Amino acid sequence: MLIEVDGVSHTYGDGPLARTVLREVSVRLGERRIGIIGANGSGKSTFARMLNGLVLPTTGSVRVDGHDTRKDGRAVRRRVGFCFTDPDAQIVMPTVQEDVAFGLRRRGWSKQEVASRVGAALAAYGLAGHADHPAHLLSGGQKQLLALASVLLTEPDLLVMDEPTTLLDLRNAQRVARVVAELPMPVVLLTHHLDLLADFDRVLVFDDGRITFDGAPGEAIAAYRELMARDGT
């Protein structure tokens, strides 16, 4: 699985309200675990959303496994699972059980097969006792776990996660970290929880729409801290 980002810039809006949030970003990503860190508003989420074609670049191109997000968005979305910071954006069905089953509808599996997969996923994420509860009444952290369970059941080739542990207490954040560590597919993780990245293969630091550091986690985190200290003075 190779992600090819070539000369990508992105501007939201136009005229006097135009705001350029990515500037000439070019990068090739092929590692198993890739972290993205940077200040609020530095362009991380915009970059992440480009990886599954949710946002198209104003200029430049993004290709995932050879598929251009502009020309072949469906093929890209089939391969790339996305976890949002705000799990409400992702909950589509009334009950927990139905929501997790939703992504499996087109698989052609029997009802029994779907039920057994959904049951296993709910158990793995500590949601077994909530199967028939209204999904919107779960706590923020439980919703985040529900969203993750639903995306993973679709077995994406690449998982992009935009701050998936923001709403989670320590136990659930650790649960998510463990789940992520064991996933078979490559993961791109945006986070402000730097300790999640300790074992990652590669970490990108974003600043003002550019990648200003690209390397091992320890060095990337040091570069990020230095950036924050400089901007804070």
Ligand X SMILES: Nc1ncnc2c1ncn2[C@@H]1O[C@H](COP(=O)(O)OP(=O)(O)OP(=O)(O)O)[C@@H](O)[C@H]1O
User: Cα(59)–Cα(57) distance, rounded to whole angstroms?
Assistant: 5
**Stretches 44-52, 100-108, 118-126, 225-233: which one binds ligand X (CB under 6 A)?**
44-52
26 binds ligand X (CB under 6 A): no
Indicate whether 164 belongs to the interface with ligand X (CB under 6 A).
no
Cα dihedral sign, 181-186-191-195? positive
Among 29, 33, 35, 46, binds ligand X (CB under 6 A): 46
Nearest-approach distance from CB 43 to ligand X, in angstroms: 5
Among 5, 140, 128, residue whose Cα is nearest residue 62: 5
Under the criterion CB under 6 A, does residue 16 sit at the interface with ligand X?
no
> Residue 44 Cβ, how far from ligand X at the closest point, in Å?
4
| 3-state class (DSSP) for residue 62 | strand
Q: What stretch of H or E contains 218?
A: helix 217-232
- Judged by CB under 6 A, does residue 40 bind ligand X? yes
Check residue 54 for interaction with ligand X (CB under 6 A): no
State CA 169 to chain mean position distance: 19
**Residue number with CB closer to ligand X (45 or 97):** 45
CB of 21 to ligand X, least distance (A): 4
Residue 215 lies near ligand X (rule: CB under 6 A):
no
Residue 12 in contact with ligand X, rule: CB under 6 A: yes
The Cα–Cα gap between 210 and 159 comes to 22
Coil/strand/helix, residue 212: strand
14 binds ligand X (CB under 6 A): no
- What is the number of helices (H) and of strands (E) in the chain? 7, 10
Where does this chain touch ligand X (CB under 6 A) — which range of 43-51, 62-70, 193-201, 210-218?
Answer: 43-51
What is the spatial distance between Cα 33 and Cα 54, in angstroms, rounded to a whole number? 21
Residue 57 touching ligand X (CB under 6 A): no
What's the CA gap between 190 and 111, in Å, rounded? 35
**Residue ranges binding ligand X (CB under 6 A):** 12-13, 19, 21, 38, 40-46
